Amino acid sequence: MASVSAQQDPFELPQRRHEAGFQESLSAVDPQGSEAVAFVEASLLMNVRADEYVAVFGLTQEGTTVPEANEKIAARIKEFTASLERLGVKTKNLSVRYQNRELLDEMRAAAAKSAIFDLAKVDYVVSDVTAPRARLLAEAAKVIKRKEADYATHFGVKMRPLSVDIERYDPHFPSEMYSSYSAEVSRERSRGKIHVVAQATPETLCYNPLNPADYDVFIGETALEPVVQFTLNLRMKYPVSR
């Protein structure tokens, strides 16, 4: 059973965003050879809720001596882990494994009571990544066959696949899906006889998942909360009679 996880840091901007998917096309040019070929493509998106999450908290402690600081840290961790045990979640030092996403707010509140304010990261874990690929591949085959039938019906083009040209299967984790934006805020104040309007543009982040409208097929629920998104882009190669 394979599993994947990725770090979600809500304060870190993504370095890149994945392309929305393939553009549907028929081409008589093979970029890797000189034979006359055509291509039919399918792009699919699946939203998958994480099976579990791993939250990692961090803390610092000042003390007149190292042993004193360590003793205080140990006491805070003990108090925090006792609070988490009452919530029914497993801990390993300050790494917390849980399945109910809504518990995070309660864990942060428990951490704050122990003077632990740094939520370092949250990992989203999907236990089995082979199941989404199998589902996506089966649906991609249906898309390809439907397009073959459409081309035959409307254009009289009869196609028989030669080979799989490209198959690209990717997981997209919430940490990749945050975008920054600036919102203007106006503040008015008076300086003597002068009325001043100051505008600030604070920068913030918003969750911006892949758009189902950019794909041939979308599987799963609309992402109203961060989820793991799997994409499959499949391109089949066909011989072209001259």
Specify the 3-state DSSP secondary structure of 20.
coil
Residue 148 CA, chain-centre distance (Å), reads 32
Tens digits of per-residue pLDDT, 67-77? 887 788 888 88
CA 209 – CA 241 distance, rounded (Å): 42
CA 114 – CA 64 distance, rounded (Å): 20
Nearest to 157 by CA among 172, 144, 147, 167: 147
| Two tokens, residue 146 | 């439907």
pLDDT tens per residue across all 242 residues of the chain: 455 554 444 333 333 344 444 444 454 555 555 678 899 999 999 999 999 999 988 877 777 787 887 788 888 888 888 888 888 887 786 888 999 988 999 999 988 888 888 888 888 999 998 999 999 999 999 999 999 999 999 998 888 889 999 999 999 998 788 777 655 555 555 555 665 555 555 567 788 899 999 999 999 988 678 999 999 999 999 998 66
Please give the model's pTM, rounded to 2 decimal places.
0.73
Q: Give the type of residue at 63.
A: G
- Judge contact between 116 and 61, C-beta under 8 A: no
Domains in the chain, ordered, with CATH? Answer: 4-50+127-239 (no CATH), 52-126 (3.30.70)
Specify the 3-state DSSP secondary structure of 50.
coil
Instruction: Sheet containing 90-92: give its strands across.
Output: 4-8, 118-126, 52-58, 95-98, 90-92
Which residue's entry shows tokens 């393939």? 22
